[in-house]
Amino acid sequence: MRKWIALTAGTAMALVATSAANAQNNELTLQLKWVTQGQFAGYYVAKDKGFYEEAGLDVTINPGGPDIAPPQVIAGGGADVIVEWMPAALAAREKGVPLVNIAQPFERSGMMLTCRAETGIESPEDFRGKTLGVWFAGNEFPFLSWMSQLGIPTEGGDDGVEVLRQGFNVDPLIQEQADCISTMTYNEYWQVIDAGFSPDDLVVFNYTDQGVATLEDGLYTTEENLEDPAMVDKLASFVAASMRGWEYACENQEEAAEIVLENDATGAQTMEHQVRMVGEICKLVGESDGTLDVSAAGTTVDSLLSGGSDPVITEAPEGAWTDAVMEKVRGM
């Protein structure tokens, strides 16, 4: 990862000056994809450690949740930038929400299917006739694309899979309502382990290993915002400060977890779980400086297009990502 925390005081002052001179105001609202947790540690760290303030920004971070769709929030003017998975962003774009990826802090996908070993599932072909838990609200797109590529129907039957609309918990696996459930490397998998399962009790299919991974947790804004040079400058300052936040979070994982907990208004998170989550998230961030890997974006598009009679998107998108913001970031 690029060493954003090595920014000099002079660079920080330049960011402030640029923002003050070019932006109409210094306020910016970020809409997260999910609730306050280590998945978003870099942004909370950037705010807590004053990185946004040094960049001349007053950033509001709005947590997400099961009833919050970031594309709808930004379309309604409730945010300037959102954290979203590329499948959901491209699906929204095709439906008329002009989302554009401006940075990609996550290099790898953390999505998996986690199965009980006792079901006899050893390969994806063994999914046939089984019940699989799947998240919806935009998170179902990678799964549906994967099943389409495998030629496995999702309407049940001996040759297909029964799709259980999974809540954002691991209960269906624990209660044997599903043979497999959706999990993330940094969250639900460890909830299963904490529930008493050992790794030997489980068979895990990582989307990356299966060659069907799609890009997650990118930063998106609208075409309209990108037409405003002042907003582009502001977004560049935001991305630069955010990547400083990720750098600091991954080098100081316990402190980052503490900062996340301080921002968790629900009080539902625990220190142990958040430290573990930050550690796993940092594996997904890897060495990213925020630059989108266009080949990975192309792989995501190809995966989403290969949806048979019901693909996630119907044509390759144009203008769905830009390097304009990152060019300014790299010049800072």
Q: Quick one: average pLDDT of 21-38?
A: 85
The domains located in the chain, with CATH, are 4-108+215-330 (3.40.190.10), 111-206 (3.40.190.10)
pTM of the model: 0.86
Place of tokens 């049940």: 156
87 near 33, Cβ under 8 Å? no
**Per-residue pLDDT at 16 exceeds 70:** no
Token pair for residue 269?
A: 């998170």
How far is CA 301 from its chain centroid?
16
Count CB neighbours of 326 within 10 A.
22
H/E run at residue 185: none
pLDDT greater than 70 at residue 1: no
Write down the pLDDT at residue 6: 42
pLDDT tens for 259-299 read 999 999 998 899 999 999 999 999 999 999 999 999 999 98
Could you tell me if 218 and 85 are in contact, meaning their C-beta atoms sit under 8 angstroms apart?
Answer: yes
pLDDT in tens, 192-251: 999 999 999 999 999 988 888 899 999 999 999 999 999 999 999 999 999 999 999 999
Cβ 86 vs Cβ 265: under 8 Å: no
Mean pLDDT of the chain: 91
CA distances in angstroms from 191 to 114, 140, 173, 195, listed in the order given = 11, 20, 11, 6
From residue 4, alpha-carbon distances to 48, 51, 65, 165 in Å are 16, 10, 30, 41
What pLDDT, on the 0 to 100 scale, is given for residue 35?
95
117-168 confidence digits (pLDDT tens) = 999 999 999 999 999 999 887 678 789 888 988 999 999 999 999 999 999 8
